[in-house]
Amino acid sequence: MSQRLSGRASARRLAAVALAGVLGVSLVACSGGDGDAGGQRRGDATGSADGGATGAGVAEKPSGPAIDVNVKRGASAVPVSTLVEVSAESGSLGEVTVSSPEGTVEGALSDDGASWTASDRLEPGTTYTVRATADDGEGSSQLRQRFTTADLTLAEQTYPSVAPLDGETVGVGMPVIVTFDVAVTDRAEFERHMTVTSQPAQEGSWYWLNGNEAHWRPKSYWRPGTEVSVDVDVNGVDAGDGIYGQEDRDVDFTVGDAHIYQVDAKTHQMKVFSNGKLLRTIPITTGKPGFTTRSGTKVIIEKFDSKRMNSETVGIPQGSSEAYDIDNVQWAMRLTYSGEFIHAAPWSVGSQGNANVSHGCTGLSTENAKWLYDMSRRGDVVEYTGTDREMTFDNGYGDWNTSFADYRTHSAL
């Protein structure tokens, strides 16, 4: 075709005008689309308000600033850990939205208005639409584009459970405990998104027992009356090995009175303190030889007004001379996962105050056990002395059995 036009300048000019007109129509069609074809990245922003070509029939550079997104137009399998960023090459952004059928992603403009960054990560298997406008004082532009995130199975997501419960009042020894149903490999990345704040403020640290469990405790016991907020902001955070956080968790709880119970296995006595005041000294019995009660700092884990206690659950087989199966042990409060409780033991009242005859539990009269049960809550502290068997960190809420200097070395950061 170029050979036939080489001697006909006027025809060449007409052809150029016609071609420019076709290009102009193409630009209008692109900017008006309602899907991935409608998105603009660098250099694709619409120009004039009507999106048309110039009267001369030659495509000009768009009059508004280019708008960039850090996710490619039409992309699929976008990681849920992505924080969407939108920026204007010049001038400033106007309205920016990133939305899906499930809702809108939160975000904020920079101080100079040149960029917008999401504060929320993304949900799996979801299509998002990005809409943005920009203006540089000489012209405006707009962008619309879509992308889809990678779908994830439940095995590729980890869900955080948090103790204490939201709204719970706990004792001064209660640690914050976050458990994950799928192990976290990148603990440091997760810990950056897990915060504990309190009023009044108290220094503390995270301690990772393993990839499925992290604790946080203050340097010293909580101050009575402290208000605590836990923010586990891990939704979409990369946990490593192809695993991502499944959901954020926010929990607020209150610290109650300082209940500290001091048990001396040698004198067979328990001293009950509340906010530093001695309320009662109670005769008790603890574990006999072969079933020695552990010394150290324990924390009440859970309470039962009635509980069945069977020796088989602690490794004593049925038929043994030490076997027992008591179906209604009253006012029982668990101290260790291995089976140490404080509870009513009316069968050992004659030994309470003068001998250790239990299988490791701390036995009280029914009256004293109910009195203590009624005032106690999860997180109250029980400090044991008088035996040569030590409490271990992972056998219950054992967080207070190591120095704070050692505790903080188990943080991932």
Same domain assignment for residues 185 and 87: no
Sheet with 127-135: list strands edge to edge: 103-104, 92-100, 127-135, 140-148
Residue 259, token pair as written in the block:
């209940």
Q: Cα dist. 139→20, 23, 43, 54, 178 in Å?
A: 22, 21, 14, 15, 51
For CA atoms 226, 163, 104, 190, give the dihedral sign. Answer: positive
* Residue-number span of the structural domain to which 187 is assigned: 154-256
- Establish if 139 belongs to a structural domain: yes
Q: What is the pLDDT of residue 62?
A: 55
Domain termination residue (choose one: 95, 127, 148): 148
**Which of these, 133, 130, 234, lies nearest to 187 by C-alpha position?**
234
pLDDT along the chain (413 residues), means of 10: 38 38 36 39 37 37 83 97 96 96 96 96 98 94 97 98 98 98 98 98 98 98 98 98 98 98 98 98 97 98 96 89 92 97 97 97 98 98 98 96 98 98
Whose tokens are 């119970």? That residue is: 261
Helix (H) or strand (E) run with residue 189 in it: helix 187-191
Give the chain's domain count. Answer: 3
Q: What pLDDT does 64 receive?
A: 86
Pair 285, 348: CB distance under 8 Å: yes
User: 237 is written with which tokens?
Assistant: 């955070």
| pLDDT for 43 | 37
Which residues form the catalytic set?
343, 361
pLDDT the model gives residue 313: 86
Walk across the sheet containing 176-180 and list its strands.
Answer: 160-163, 176-180, 213-218, 204-210
In terms of domains, do 221 and 352 share one?
A: no
* Whether 269 and 380 share a structural domain: yes
- CA-based torsion, 374, 380, 385, 389: positive or negative: positive
Query: What three-state secondary structure class fits 352?
Result: coil
In the structure encoding, which two tokens stand for residue 317, read together? Answer: 């087989």
For residue 245, the domain's CATH number is: 2.60.40.3710
Query: What does each C-alpha distance from 170 to 24, 227, 253 come to in angstroms?
Result: 69, 11, 8
Shared-domain flag, residues 206 and 248: yes
The pLDDT value given to residue 390:
97
Q: Clarify whether residues 188 and 68 are in a common domain.
A: no
CA distances from 101 to 81, 126, 151, 314 (A): 19, 8, 16, 52
Are 139 and 64 contacting, i.e. CB atoms less than 8 angstroms apart? yes
DSSP 43-82: T-S--STT----TTS-PPPPSSPPEEESS-TT--SB-TT-
404 within some domain:
no
The reported pTM is: 0.81
Main-chain dihedrals φ then ψ at residue 240, nearest 5 degrees:
90, 155
Listed residues 148, 166, 187: the one ending a domain: 148
Calpha distance 121→339 (Å, rounded): 42
pLDDT at position 347 is: 96
Residues 143 and 14 in one domain: yes
Task: Return the bridge partners of 329, or none.
Answer: 307
Residue pair 111/85 in contact by the 8 Å Cβ criterion: no
Which pLDDT score is estimated for 174?
Answer: 98
**Nearest-5° angle of CA 149, CA 154, CA 155?**
110
- Residue 112 forms part of a structural domain: yes
Q: Is residue 24 domain-shared with residue 143, that is, in the same domain?
A: yes
Has residue 401 been placed in a domain? no
